[in-house]
């Protein structure tokens, strides 16, 4: 057979190694970190990565301060030793029996509230659409209080809180026209549902004895004092399930910031992403309310801090969880130490801090 002679271009490439010729040359954008090892490569935006690292360091410092500070002050080394069961008996008792469970409750509930708020805000495309404002917190609280006062004694408070969150969510989205609803119609429907469940909670407390009402009072204001171990276990399971699922939904959540046609054109199944986001928000909110009661302002403040530090690059899921945990731990620490021996519930501290911030969001001009 006749074989044509190789072209001059082919002969000029004969000395180039095959591996180098087949590998594309790529450069990372200026504001990113790029890591590559063989066929694997990872690309991180610089601002969110640095923001998450800063929030993690601040959270670790707040955890050490929460173990140290109180009526019985401890040094950093003594507090850390006591947290692992070493040191003097009094220090170990104060840290492991009183402060450490409270710290774990603050970390878990803060992360759950803030992550649920970030998911709900992304779902509704509205910065005010947090579980507390649209009534999910009040629904979970009403059902949990019903369990405490004896109206739902067959179910534990975590299960009752989840049932209440599901009912409140169904009402809010049903009245607003479905999961795809955006804007203030969704908020108004949620506010009405929250007011309905809040009135139901007050009615239940008014019809029971003063002792039973006092036992249910922490559920209505938000507190981390003497939390039930079983509720903490439910919260830990919810976080183990919801955080990886939310990170897995990250690309779909980023496309929800655009119109439905753009998201579908990018290959996303919008209805499935919204449904999964909705149920993750309900699960996280119910688990957090079952531990601490309604502390809804964390879901508003935490995502805003994460967005600001990450310079609004994408949906800050991990940053919101870290910021919410930090805010919750600091709020509980302030409630314990500012006015000793009086202890201010964390829900009241967050209301004092978060309410002016909510007014500032409403009154400022949108960017």
pLDDT (tens digit, 9 = 90+) per residue, 205-235? 888 888 877 777 777 788 888 677 777 888 8
Average pLDDT of span 158-163: 79
Q: What percent of the chain has pLDDT over 70?
A: 80
339 vs 305: CA distance, rounded Å = 27
H/E element, 34: strand 32-37
Displacement of CA 306 from its chain's centroid (Å): 11
pLDDT for res 58:
95
Residues 66, 38: contact at Cβ < 8 Å? no
Average pLDDT of span 182-196: 78
pLDDT for res 15:
47
pLDDT for res 29:
65
200 vs 141: CA distance, rounded Å = 10
Displacement of CA 106 from its chain's centroid (Å): 12
Q: pLDDT: is 184 or 213 the higher one?
A: 213
Q: pLDDT: is 25 or 280 the higher one?
A: 280
Q: Which two tokens stand for residue 284?
A: 């996280």
H/E element, 229: helix 229-248
- From residue 164, alpha-carbon distances to 112, 147, 170, 193, 274 in Å are 17, 11, 10, 11, 20
114 vs 107: CA distance, rounded Å = 11
Task: Give the model confidence (pLDDT) of 331-341 as tens digits.
Answer: 999 988 888 77
Concatenate the DSSP letters of all residues of 135-184 into one string.
THHHHHHHHHHHHHHTTTTTS-HHHHHHHHHHHHHHHHHHHHTSTT--SH
**Torsion angles phi and psi, residue 125, rounded to 5:** 55, 45
Helix (H, G, I), strand (E, B) or coil at 44: strand
Asked which of 21-25, 118-122, 154-158 is least confident by mean pLDDT, the reply is 21-25
Q: Which residues 6+ apart lie within 8 Å of 177 measured at CB?
A: 185, 186
Q: Which residues 6+ apart lie within 8 Å of 133 measured at CB?
A: 187, 190, 191, 194, 296, 300
Residue 261 has pLDDT above 80, yes or no: no
- Whole-structure pTM value: 0.83
pLDDT for res 133:
80
Q: What percent of the chain has pLDDT over 90?
A: 17
47 vs 189: CA distance, rounded Å = 36
Q: How sure is the predictor about 106, in pLDDT bands with cuts at 50, 70 and 90?
A: very high
Q: pLDDT: is 18 or 291 the higher one?
A: 291
pLDDT for res 28:
60
Closest CA to 228 of 132, 153, 156, 161: 156
Asked which of 21-30, 73-82, 110-119 is least confident by mean pLDDT, the reply is 21-30
pLDDT for res 331:
92
Q: pLDDT: is 180 or 199 the higher one?
A: 199
pLDDT for res 19:
44
Residue 151 has pLDDT above 70, yes or no: no
Q: Which residue has the tokens 């710290």?
A: 103
Report for 29-33, 43-47, 309-313: range of highest mean pLDDT: 309-313
pLDDT for res 75:
85
Helix (H, G, I), strand (E, B) or coil at 33: strand
77 vs 22: CA distance, rounded Å = 56
Closest CA to 222 of 109, 96, 79: 109
pLDDT for res 20:
44
Concatenate the DSSP letters of all residues of 267-330 into one string.
T--HHHHHHHHHHHHHHHHHHHHHHH---TTHHHHHHHHHHHHTTT-S--HHHHHHHHHHHHHH
Task: Give the model confidence (pLDDT) of 278-332 as tens digits.
Answer: 889 888 988 888 888 888 789 988 998 998 888 777 788 999 999 999 999 999 9
Q: How sure is the predictor about 188, in pLDDT bands with cuts at 50, 70 and 90?
A: confident
Residue 25 has pLDDT above 60, yes or no: no
Residue 17 has pLDDT above 80, yes or no: no
- In a 13 Å sphere around the CA of 306, the CA atoms on its Cβ side amount to 31
pLDDT for res 35:
67
Mean pLDDT computed over every residue of the chain: 79
């Amino acid at each position: 057979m006749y074989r044509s002679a190789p072209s001059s271009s082919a002969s000029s490439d004969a000395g180039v190694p095959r591996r180098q010729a087949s590998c594309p040359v790529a450069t990372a954008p200026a504001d990113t970190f790029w890591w590559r090892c063989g066929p694997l490569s990872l690309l991180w935006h610089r601002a969110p990565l640095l923001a998450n690292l800063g929030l993690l360091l601040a959270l670790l410092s707040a955890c050490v301060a929460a173990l140290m500070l109180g009526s019985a002050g401890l040094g950093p080394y003594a507090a850390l030793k006591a947290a692992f069961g070493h040191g003097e008996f009094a220090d170990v008792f104060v840290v492991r029996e009183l402060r450490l469970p409270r710290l774990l409750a603050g970390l878990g509930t803060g992360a759950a509230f803030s992550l649920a708020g970030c998911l709900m805000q992304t779902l509704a495309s509205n910065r005010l659409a947090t579980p507390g404002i649209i009534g999910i917190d009040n629904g979970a609280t009403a059902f949990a209080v019903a369990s405490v006062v004896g109206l739902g004694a067959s179910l534990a408070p975590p299960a009752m809180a989840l049932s209440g969150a599901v009912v409140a969510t169904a009402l809010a989205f049903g009245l607003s026209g479905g999961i795809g609803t955006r804007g203030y119609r969704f908020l108004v429907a949620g506010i009405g549902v929250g007011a309905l469940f809040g009135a139901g909670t007050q009615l239940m407390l008014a019809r029971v004895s003063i002792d039973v009402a006092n036992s249910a009072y922490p559920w209505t204001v938000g507190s981390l004092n003497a939390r039930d171990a079983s509720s903490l276990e439910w919260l830990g399971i919810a976080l183990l399930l919801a955080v990886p699922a939310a990170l897995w939904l990250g690309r779909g959540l980023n496309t929800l910031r655009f119109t439905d046609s753009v998201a579908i054109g990018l290959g996303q199944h919008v209805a499935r992403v919204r449904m999964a986001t909705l149920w993750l928000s309900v699960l996280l909110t119910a688990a957090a309310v079952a531990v601490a009661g309604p502390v809804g302002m964390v879901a508003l403040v935490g995502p805003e801090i994460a967005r600001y530090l990450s310079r609004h690059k994408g949906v800050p899921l991990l940053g919101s969880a870290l910021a919410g945990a930090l805010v919750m731990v600091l709020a509980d620490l302030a409630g314990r130490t500012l006015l000793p021996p009086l202890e201010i519930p964390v829900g009241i501290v967050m209301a004092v801090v978060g309410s002016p911030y909510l007014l500032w969001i409403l009154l400022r001009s949108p960017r």
